[in-house]
Amino acid sequence: MQHDSLFWPYSKDGTYTVKTGYNFILKPHGSAPSTSTGQQTTFNWKKLWSIQAIPRVKDMVWRAVKNILPTNKRLAEKGLDVDLICPQCGLEEESVTHAILQCEEAKRVWFASPVTVHIPDSVDLDFADWISNVLTRGENDGIANVFNLMFALWRRRNVWAFQQSKMPIEETLGLAASWYAIKSPTTSVQDLVQSQNNDSQNVIVHFDASLKSGVGTGFGCIVTDRQGHFLGAATSIDSELLDSKIAEASAFRWCLGVLEAIGITHVDIVSDCLELVQAWKRGGIYNTYFHALVKDCIGLYSSFISFNFKHKSRENNAAANMLANVAFDVGEQLWLDELPQFLVNLVSPPADLADVVDFS
């Protein structure tokens, strides 16, 4: 068994060679132990983070394993009004397993790639189990190939879903190969936990709540990159007219849920409610409804890799405030592909689709 001959045929002159019969990474049947279904506690996260792939590639695989990758099925489960069907084949519900492994479109790319993997057709194939097998049986380089290809497949899916354009298979393989060419240092889970002060890749999130007597409470949040490019926005509405402090804490909780649903893991969140930021930082006793909401938020906090929560004055929160007001008209909405018209004057520079697709 020549496990160590697994490689990506990416030559030094930058050309990409199509598979001519390379070795396999996985056998359909083998003696290696596999983890039991759905037992995420036994998932080898340390191994996942140790693979030599660039951080955003590993982030994407991590999100896929945690089932927080924003597939249509995942967004629908989070209560968003989206079509469940796979944007690529139009035949089945788009779960993570479908989008990355079982979709006929994904399979065509896997087949054309230099890594040969076994993808069972079984309807209850669990993505985390499948990746567990890859991590257990594959060599590090082979696994990096698999990860890079998954990221390229997700990129291809997003271009298809948001731009209605079909990335050629060769281009998809070339993308994966280009990431493989970048050797990043091995990152341990510990490094990631400690890297929370290194927030250069965090997106910026503003949220706000708005009260309208006789109608209820509106929520809004907006996500931009550090240069101010629009990445996404969402609104929601609560039919109760909440006390203003409770409204801010509820908006915070809702906002964290939205971020988790769309798979954002590195954030700097900004609130104009000083009491909320102070309650978050102070921790301690939770004996009021307000504090119970803060505690809920702390529970949601675990889905983020890098997280900062800051206070800024109200003037800096105009776009989120506008969204919270618009919520009364539009209800529950999510904008991921383009900047809504009503925000054009409040957000600049304008939306750049490439940033949206490359969401992490």
Binding mask 27-66 for Zn ion (x = CB under 5 A): ----------------------------------------
Query: How many residues in the shown chain lie near Zn ion by CB under 5 A?
Result: 4
Alpha-helical regions (H) of the chain: 45-50, 55-65, 72-77, 96-97, 104-112, 127-137, 140-163, 169-181, 189-194, 244-261, 274-282, 289-300, 318-330, 353-357
Q: Binding string, 315-334, against Zn ion, x = CB under 5 A? A: --------------------
Q: Structure tokens of 333?
A: 């909405």
Contact 67, 74 (CB under 8 A): yes
The answer to whether 203 and 306 have CB atoms below 8 angstroms apart is no
User: Which CB sits closer to Zn ion, 159 or 339?
Assistant: 159
**What's the closest the beta carbon of residue 318 comes to Zn ion, in angstroms?**
40
Q: CA-CA distance, 225 to 245, in Å (whole number)?
A: 28
Any contact of residue 231 with Zn ion (CB under 5 A)? no
Of 137 and 156, which CB lies nearer to Zn ion in the complex structure?
Answer: 156
Nearest residue to 303 (alpha-carbon basis) of 124, 40, 126, 7: 40
Q: Which two tokens stand for residue 57?
A: 């590639």
Choice between 84 and 242, CB closer to Zn ion: 84
Least distance in angstroms from the C-beta of 300 to Zn ion: 30
Residues 96-135 that bind Zn ion (CB under 5 A): 103
Which residue's CB is nearer to Zn ion, number 86 or number 336? 86
By CB under 5 A, tell whether 88 contacts Zn ion. yes
Tell which positions 68-87 bind Zn ion, by CB under 5 A.
86
Single residue of 54, 82, 85, 89 touching Zn ion by CB under 5 A:
89
Report residue 43: phi and psi, to 5°. -65, 135
- Residue listed under structure tokens 């405030």: 321
Pick the stretch among 62-70, 88-96, 149-157, 267-275 that binds Zn ion (CB under 5 A).
88-96
Residue numbers at the binding site for Zn ion (CB under 5 A)? 86, 88-89, 103
